[in-house]
Homo-oligomer: A and B are copies of this chain.
């Protein structure tokens, strides 16, 4: 079994890298070859492992031990298969690791304190990137190019960079913001349903019918929602119904998606780096944008108005591929995304 220290830095191009994406719905880990450079910026993914057990978050923040207990054996098994080495042998060829985690900025202290020593001890790896999930979403969507990424799902955050620093907008959660997110759209749709139930202005009988199909009688909706601990996810689960109503021609549902599109564009505009007109890229990443044309149609119009020079692109890859991109760049000494104590911390 090769000692971790026996991997020469010059071998990094052919070495292995690990990307990790840790979030509320679980953990995903990818093993990849570092790649040869710009032609293969994201590395070449060899294998991916998914765990549906989210990493625990306790009083001290994200539980580094719980993350390592899932990541180490998964990577060692994948590395063994990739290199033909038994046991933990293949892990000796790992040269860089990038971990993207939801809550990294505010809950990542234990990861920042414990992961560098733990990974050096386990695999001899010194090159480590700790990234907010918005940064891995950015790298997955745009690689290391300047621009802006809106990551939308249950929540919504926008991140932009001119490669000299980061700008962030929203991502403040379902009560303070996440404007235009799945939870925002679903909440607005349920409010319109209850307005119809009450006979208040702004109601939609179509949304009321959909809400009752999904959650039961309208009067029972508060009891179905408030005791839940995953209220934002419950709200977001109604967003596809709002989109469906809009497709069916419901003007209230269409209005909700138009306002959501405005909020998404506002977040993008707040973070998009200034540059020559036509040069900026704005990528839309995450499940929110699978709501389709009822959202994307007005969103293109809003982005055209607020960011007339920007080119709207689909995300090239997901946050896990973004983590691999960062790990591969770190292995090659080519990280161009800016370091930031809360968003992207590099150990070299």
Task: Name A's B-contacting residues (CB within 8 A).
Answer: 106, 167-170, 172-177, 179, 187, 190-191, 194-195, 198-202, 221-223, 225-226, 231, 235, 266-267, 269-270, 306
Contact = CB atoms under 8 A, between A and B. Distances in A.
A201 B266 contact: yes
Contacts of A221: 172, 176
Each complex incorporates copies of this chain amounting to 2
A225 B174 CA distance: 11
A198 B169 contact: yes
Given A169-B199, A170-B198, A200-B170, A176 B225 contact: yes
Contact of A176 (B106, B173, B194): B194
B266 A172 contact: no
Contacts of A306: 201
Contact of A194 (B177, B190, B191, B199): B177
Contacts of A167: 199
A169 B198 CA distance: 5
Contacts of A168: 198
A201 B106 contact: no
A174 B176 CA distance: 13
Given A106-B223, A198-B169, A223-B106, A175 B270 contact: no
Contacts of A172: 191, 194, 221-222
A235 to B, nearest CB: 7
Given A106-B223, A223-B106, A176 B190 contact: yes
Nearest 3 A-B pairs (CB), nearest first?
Answer: A169-B198, A200-B270, A201-B266
Contact of A222 (B176, B194, B222, B267): B176
Nearest to A235: B175
Nearest to A186: B175
Nearest to A262: B201
A270 B199 contact: yes
Contacts of A191: 172, 176-177, 179
A61 to B, nearest CB: 11
A245 B175 CA distance: 20
Nearest to A226: B173
A267 B267 CA distance: 32
Contacts of A106: 222-223
A260 to B, nearest CB: 14
Nearest to A173: B222
Given A106-B223, A172-B191, A202-B266, 12 more contacts: A169-B200, A170-B200, A173-B226, A174-B175, A176-B190, A176-B191, A176-B225, A177-B194, A198-B267, A198-B270, A200-B266, A201-B306
A226 B190 contact: no
A178 to B, nearest CB: 10
Given A106-B223, A225-B175, A235-B175, A170 B199 contact: no
A176 B221 CA distance: 8
Interface centre among A223, A226, A306 (most CB of B within 10 A): A226
Contacts of A173: 222, 225-226
Nearest to A232: B175
A200 B235 contact: no
A195 B225 CA distance: 27
